[in-house]
Amino acid sequence: MSDGTTGGAVLPKRTLGSSGIEVSAVGLGCMSMSQSYGIPDPAEAEATLHRALDVGITFLDTANAYGDGHNEELIGRVLGADRHRFVLATKFGIIRDKPGLDGDPAHVAGYCEASMTRLGTDVIDLYYLHRVDPRFPIEETVGAMGELVAAGKVRAIGLSEVSSDTLRRAQAVHPIAAVQSEWSLWTRDVERKLVGTCTELNVAVVPFSPLGRGFFTGTVTENTFGKGDMRKNFPRFQEGNFERNNELLDGVKAVAAEAGATPGQVALAWLLAKTPQVVPIPGTKRAERVAENAGAALVTLSAEQVSRLDGLFSEENIAGERYPEAMLRTIQRD
């Protein structure tokens, strides 16, 4: 069984669409360092970011909404002189006030400037629209994002949780380097159409929650969720659904034993095997876990193992929606 590290090996690289930006094949989602998965631990968060650099992760993902700017400030403070060693991705478009979304083209530059200040950088490598604001045509919002590229403040732009149609409309205005969507063994609706559209348009797919919010590590129990952990409100973790979904983990553990890896590494390796354009960003706030996640880039699954996992985690086998109803309304699906 893997010891959960990269063993000093150099992580493979992947390219973010047509942007030419190279990143480690596995990135790091930083949200949980500031919110949503229990009470934040600043010291452990800093250790996790330093560990990411040590194990070869070069792709960090944050957003202005994470901790109301706290997450960007944390990353900016910790990276310091090491900023040049990372590709920084951040997002705008989710706000706390009603209507909850802001894709107003007139506000895009201001959000970008504020993020750059918090991150302590003069350029953002990948700037995403976090959610589509239905009040504004995607062409207008993307047009404003493209102006940031022309001004040298952003290297490439991306979209999060969009449909294939929205992606095509955006791409007609400005090259889209990456689409971020939830994609994992138990969230596979993007495979119906969006992944194919990304392949056609040469757009990278950046799956968030590729470990099913920790589910596929095999360490989540009914007693895992403490104060401030949003997972207790998610249908797949609630009574009845959780027990049914947990039965499927035996299949992941079996493949892990065959591959000499951990269950979490298998879940990530399954994604990496899907297309060379995929770059998963498992989120964690623990240094020990980030090393394990990085090691998934060195795990190779056979075609038979990938197919076996595909069948085990078909959509009809999963109990519960991935989000509560209110959150589902903010995303686009094909």
Between CA 187 and CA 134 the distance in angstroms is: 24
Between CA 282 and CA 280 the distance in angstroms is: 6
- Please check whether residue 281 is in contact with residue 205, taking contact to mean a CB–CB distance below 8 angstroms: no
- Please check whether residue 157 is in contact with residue 149, taking contact to mean a CB–CB distance below 8 angstroms: yes
Q: Give 285's contacts (C-beta < 8 A, 6+ positions apart).
A: 32, 33, 37, 40, 41, 44, 45, 48
DSSP string, 95-127: -SSTTSB---HHHHHHHHHHHHHHHT-S-EEEE
The tokens of 210 are what?
């590729």
Known active-site residue 66: yes
Catalytic residue among 37, 66, 111, 128: 66
Integer CA distances (angstroms), 36 to 13, 227, 233, in order: 30, 9, 11
Could you list the active site residues?
66
